[in-house]
């Protein structure tokens, strides 16, 4: 009988497990890297052409702007929502999560439709550099807001009381903002880094970046080798930009995740916050949710191509659900396994988190092109793994499992180490302990991360575009494919259908999380 | 009487730091022991070594005459040592009801399912929480949780009951009440208590013998009343002085 003590004791298996997990996630990218090491018959096209370097600098400018704006807006929002109670706080915050679950190109479509509807200049606010930055900020700002909010709620009640006693609300807000600024800033940088790999908004607003160049090389020029090398070049930039962020962020995140729950300060009711809170969050929702939504809905006032939209949704909903559900299951299993491997060792956790942050920041097309490389080298018997719908799910699972790992780490961090000690004393087997104690304890974390990954995997376009088998498109990919040529009303209807579906899933998830909320 | 616990030249270290060394003592069956010492001196570590949750870096431990740990090795796993333990944080499994907590604690018993349920219910009743069997720990008061943890510990009729500061978070009235219960229960199931505490009054209420850990060594050991009468360790000297002041004041 395997003792439950294995869960709390150090062991070589922990490091090996983490290494194997990260290697598995990196395997397709490594396959791509090794394939480029082989000499080819024809001389390869150069990577660092003027076009690519210009695209890369445009991408970096967008990333910088997104990081700055996301922190400038997200930090005060997170501090406000973390310290104060105001009308509709929970509802407004739940709605603010919506842009995180919608592909950035869908937001960009909405904003570009607003520009058309308002008759703005093609090179004005909702186009080019500003349009691209705006579309990404709708994702970056909620991300920074929520991370800031979580950090503020991690400050103990006594610390908040002490700051309040020392200098009142202004002093408290200043102290709290200063304390969470490093994490908020790093999250902003991460949001900026993530934009480097996303071609969507840039293509829509005519401000193409490095990620778009990779798509062009692969899908228009059919030059796999060039796309792969461009992808590696971009990955190199992302890696070196992301490494200091990950190295700085990971130990703090590891400590936070390892900590047992603190008693957060109750949300205070002060007059100015009761006024400013709803206004700030409403303004944010206006920019991130309502404005893009107005863009989709506006063409529907002229005509509603319901039949065509339903046909398109019906054609793709099964594939979309398959990709999302299987990816969510696989990512959750891998995430929980890695979290168990890292245990309570702060160093192992920090190492794992550095790996996870870097993996997530790498361009999704890097892994996808790696899968294509593996498919080319694998025998026909392995087609279901390398060339089928499962390939898409596998690629998505390996992209999004960092979320599952972080949720599972948090869940395990809140469990008492003496639970397994007492189980060992009473001779409870590891299997029974896992089934009756650990799994139910982790259930809220597992379900939340599974839902989040389901939504994120559903929203992905980059991996699905490169890997989906013929005729097995997902709904976001269908929108991405038809957006340039189909009537505005059809694109609008499809976007509304997608956002509505994401909102429904989010609502269902929130309701489920309430019913699963643990008692103290 | 036979020696229930025999500890010889025990040493433990953690991350290169010596927790304690050269600790030797013997506990006879039925002779309740208090492990005294200030915070961080290694009392709980010693208890974990006796329980078999950790292996000692050096030294040996015998339980009921059987060698159970020997120089870095655990020879007999915790669940085969005939003991139970109540942890400082009680370690109640929050996902299970009080009854399920006690039942799962009897996982290794050879009783049938029906007998297990009877014994679990009996243990809860003995600890005066029989009517709370269906409730989960999170819905119980701290005192009720203590009783459920005790019920889980005694349900398997252990010969040795290890208590790791289980009363530290209780108010004086509840602490007194529970200590009386523990003494009664230990008598009923014929178990020997080993209590980890830094509170001499708590030790006096439950134990006849005491050992004191100080400066990573065994500072003194013997009959509790005797060591209090002529204390050698700083902790007991301070306690004796306080008791003296209270008497004179």
Q: What is the pTM of this model?
A: 0.84
- Mean pLDDT across chain A, nearest whole number? 87
Q: What is the mean pLDDT of residues A83-110?
A: 90
What is the mean pLDDT of the segment spanning B165-176?
85
CA-to-CA separations, A113 to A133, A135, A290, A297, A475, in angstroms, rounded: 16, 12, 13, 9, 19
**Cβ pair A176, A326 in contact under 8 A:** no
Please report which residue ranges of B22-112 form alpha helices under DSSP H: 43-51, 98-104
The three-state secondary structure class of A215 is helix
Mean pLDDT of B175-190: 90
Token duo for residue A104: 């950035």
Greatest Cα pair distance in chain B: 59
Taking the Cβ of residue A516 and every Cβ of chain B, the question of whether any pair is shorter than 8 Å is answered with: no
CB contact under 8 A, B78 and A425: yes
Tell me the mean pLDDT in the region A40-46. 64
User: For the residues of B6-27, what is the DSSP string, one character each?
Assistant: EEEEEEEEETTEEEEEEEEEEE
DSSP one-letter string for A322-346: HHHHHHHHHHHHHHHHHHHHHTT-H
As a three-state string, the secondary structure of A426-456 is CCCCHHHHHHHHHHHHHHHHHHHHHHHHHHH
Say yes or no: A261 contacts chain B, CB-CB below 8 A: no
Return the residue of B nearest to A441 by Cα. Answer: B95
- The distance between the two most distant Cα atoms of chain A, rounded to a whole number of Å, is 74
- For residue B148, what pLDDT is reported? 95
- Rg, C-alpha atoms of chain A: 23
- Residues A143 and B113: their CA atoms lie apart, in Å, by 51
Residue A377 burial by Cβ neighbours in a 10 Å radius (0-12, 13-18, 19+): exposed
- Asked if B105 and A421 come within 8 Å (Cβ–Cβ), the reply is no
C-beta separation of B170 from B143 below 8 A: yes
Nearest chain A Cα to B48, which residue? A421
Phi first, then psi: give them for residue B58, nearest 5 degrees. -145, 160
Flag whether residue A436 sits within 8 Å of chain B, measured between CB atoms: yes
- How far apart, in whole angstroms, are the C-alpha atoms of residue A417 and residue B171? 25
Q: Give residue A519's pLDDT.
A: 45
Q: Is the pLDDT of residue A113 over 60?
A: yes
pLDDT at A414 over 90: no
Question: What is the tens place of the pLDDT at every residue in B7-32?
Answer: 999 999 988 889 999 999 999 999 99
Q: Please name which of B131, B199, B132, B136 lies closest in space to residue B165, comparing C-alpha atoms.
A: B199
Answer yes or no: are the C-beta atoms of A405 and A254 closer than 8 Å.
no
Phi, psi angle pair for B109, to nearest 5°: -75, 160
Distance from CA of A9 to the nearest CA of B (A): 9
pLDDT digits (tens, 9 = 90+) for A439-457: 999 998 898 889 888 988 8
The one-character DSSP state at B194 is E
Q: In chain A, what are the domains?
A: 4-25+49-515 (1.10.3720.10)
CB A39 within 8 A of CB A363: no
The pLDDT value given to residue B207: 93
Model confidence over B96-106: pLDDT tens digits?
999 999 999 88
The residue with tokens 């000692």 is B56
At residue B54, what are phi and psi to the nearest 5 degrees? -130, 155
Helices (H), A154-199: 157-195
Q: Is the pLDDT of residue A517 over 70?
A: no
Please provide the distance, in angstroms rounded to a whole number, between the alpha carbons at the two ends of chain A.
32
Contacts of A432 in chain B (CB under 8 A): 104, 107
In tens, the pLDDT along B107-122 reads 877 888 899 999 999 9
pLDDT at res. A258: 61
Which pLDDT does position A520 carry in this prediction? 40
- Locate tokens 């709803």: which residue? A278
| pLDDT score of A305 more than 90 | no
CB distance A519–B84 less than 8 Å? no
Q: How far apart are CA B81 and CA B159, in angstroms?
A: 9
Element housing B219 (H / E): strand B217-223
Backbone angles phi, psi at B82, to 5 degrees: 70, 35
Q: What distance in Å separates residue B212's CA from the closest CA in chain A?
A: 24
Residue with tokens 């007194």: B176
Predicted-complex ipTM score: 0.90
Q: Which residue has the higher pLDDT, A258 or B82?
A: B82
Residue B79 and residue A427: Cβ atoms within 8 Å? yes
Smallest CA–CA distance, residue B105 to chain A, in Å, is: 5
Q: What backbone phi and psi angles, to 5 degrees, belong to A470?
A: -55, 135
Q: Which residues of A touch B139 (CB under 8 A)?
A: 519
Which of A34-48, A450-464, B71-85 bottoms out in mean pLDDT, i.e. has the lowest?
Answer: A34-48
Nearest Cα of chain B lies from the Cα of A265 at a distance, in angstroms, of 21
**Rg (Cα) of chain B, in Å, rounded?**
18
Name the residue facing A432 among B51, B95, B107 (closest C-beta). Answer: B107
Q: What is the model's pLDDT at position A257?
A: 63
Q: Inter-chain contact A426–B83, Cβ cutoff 8 Å?
A: no
Q: Virtual CA dihedral for A140, A143, A145, A147, nearest 10 degrees?
A: -140
Q: What proportion of chain A, given as a percentage, has pLDDT over 90?
A: 33
Which residues of B fall within a CB distance of 8 Å from A423?
A: 93, 104
* Residues in contact with A167: Cβ distance below 8 Å, sequence separation at least 6, in sequence order: none
Contacts of B138 (CB under 8 A, 6+ apart): A518, A519, A520, B94
Work out the pLDDT band at B60, boundaries 50, 70, 90: very high
Tokens read off for A271: 């007059």
Using an 8 Å Cβ cutoff, are A353 and A345 in contact? no
Across A420-425, average pLDDT: 94
């Amino acid at each position: 009988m395997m003792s439950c003590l294995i869960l709390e004791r150090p062991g070589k298996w922990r490091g090996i497990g983490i290494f194997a997990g990260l290697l598995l996630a990196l395997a397709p990218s490594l396959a791509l890297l090794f394939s480029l090491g082989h000499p080819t018959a024809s001389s390869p096209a150069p990577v660092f052409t003027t076009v690519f370097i210009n695209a890369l600098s445009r991408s970096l400018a967008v990333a910088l702007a997104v990081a700055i704006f996301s922190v400038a807006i997200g930090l005060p929002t997170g501090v406000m929502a973390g310290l104060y109670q105001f009308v509709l706080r929970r509802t407004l915050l739940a709605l603010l999560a919506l842009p995180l679950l919608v592909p950035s190109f869908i937001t960009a479509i909405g904003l570009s439709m607003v520009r058309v509807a308002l008759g703005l200049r093609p090179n004005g606010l909702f186009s080019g550099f500003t349009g691209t930055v705006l579309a990404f900020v709708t994702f970056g700002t909620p991300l920074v807001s929520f991370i800031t909010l979580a950090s503020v709620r991690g400050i103990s009640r006594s610390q908040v009381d002490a700051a309040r006693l020392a200098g009142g609300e202004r002093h408290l807000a200043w102290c709290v903002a200063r304390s969470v600024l490093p994490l908020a800033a790093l999250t902003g940088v991460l949001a900026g880094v993530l934009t480097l790999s996303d071609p969507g908004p840039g293509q829509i607003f005519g401000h193409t970046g490095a990620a778009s160049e990779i798509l062009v090389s692969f899908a228009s020029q059919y030059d796999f080798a060039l796309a792969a090398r461009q992808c590696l070049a971009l990955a190199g930039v992302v890696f070196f930009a992301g490494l200091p962020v990950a190295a700085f962020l990971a130990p703090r995140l590891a400590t936070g995740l390892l900590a047992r729950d603190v008693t957060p300060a109750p949300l205070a009711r002060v007059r100015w916050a009761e006024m400013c809170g709803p206004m700030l969050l409403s303004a944010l929702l206006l920019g991130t949710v309502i404005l893009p939504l107005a863009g989709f809905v506006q063409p529907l006032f002229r005509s509603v191509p319901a039949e065509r939209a339903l046909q398109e949704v019906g054609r793709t909903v099964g594939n979309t659900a398959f990709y999302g559900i299987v990816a969510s299951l696989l990512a959750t299993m891998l995430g929980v396994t890695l979290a168990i491997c890292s245990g309570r060792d702060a160093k192992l956790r920090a190492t794992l988190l550095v790996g996870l942050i870097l993996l997530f920041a790498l361009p999704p097309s890097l892994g996808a092109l790696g899968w294509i490389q593996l498919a080319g080298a694998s025998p026909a018997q392995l087609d279901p793994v390398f060339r089928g719908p499962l390939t898409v799910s596998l690629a998505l699972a390996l992209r999004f499992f960092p979320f599952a790992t972080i949720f599972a780490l948090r869940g395990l961090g809140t469990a008492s180490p003496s639970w397994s000690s007492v189980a060992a004393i009473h001779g409870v087997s590891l299997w029974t302990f896992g089934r009756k104690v650990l799994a139910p304890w982790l259930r809220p974390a597992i379900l939340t991360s599974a839902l989040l990954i389901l939504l994120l995997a559903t929203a992905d376009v980059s991996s699905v575009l490169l890997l989906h088998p013929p005729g097995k498109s997902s709904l976001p990919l269908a929108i991405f494919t038809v957006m340039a040529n189909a009537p505005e009303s059809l694109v609008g209807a499809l976007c509304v259908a997608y956002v509505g579906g994401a909102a429904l899933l989010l609502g269902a998830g929130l309701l489920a999380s309430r019913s699963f909320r643990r008692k103290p | 009487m036979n020696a229930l616990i025999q500890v010889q030249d025990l040493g433990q270290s953690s991350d290169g730091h010596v927790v304690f060394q050269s600790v030797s003592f013997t506990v006879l069956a039925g002779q309740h022991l208090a492990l005294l010492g200030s915070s961080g001196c290694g009392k709980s570590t010693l208890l974990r070594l006796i329980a078999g949750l950790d292996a000692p870096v050096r030294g040996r431990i015998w339980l009921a005459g059987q060698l159970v740990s020997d120089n870095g090795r655990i020879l007999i796993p915790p669940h085969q040592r005939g003991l139970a333990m109540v942890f400082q944080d009680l370690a109640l499994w929050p996902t299970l009801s009080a009854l399920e907590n006690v039942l799962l604690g009897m996982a290794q018993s050879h009783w049938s399912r029906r007998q297990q349920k009877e014994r679990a219910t009996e243990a809860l009743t003995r600890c005066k929480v029989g009517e709370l069997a269906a409730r989960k720990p999170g819905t119980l008061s701290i005192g009720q949780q203590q009783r459920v943890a005790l019920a889980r510990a005694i349900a398997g009729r252990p010969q040795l009951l290890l208590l790791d500061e289980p009363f530290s978070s209780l108010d004086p009235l509840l602490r007194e009440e529970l200590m009386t219960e523990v003494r009664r229960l230990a008598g009923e199931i014929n178990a020997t208590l080993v209590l980890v505490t830094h509170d001499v009054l708590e030790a006096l209420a439950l134990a006849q013998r005491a050992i004191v850990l100080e400066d990573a060594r065994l500072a003194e050991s013997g009959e509790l009343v005797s060591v209090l009468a002529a204390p050698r360790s700083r902790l007991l000297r301070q306690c004796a002085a306080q008791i003296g002041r209270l008497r004179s004041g």
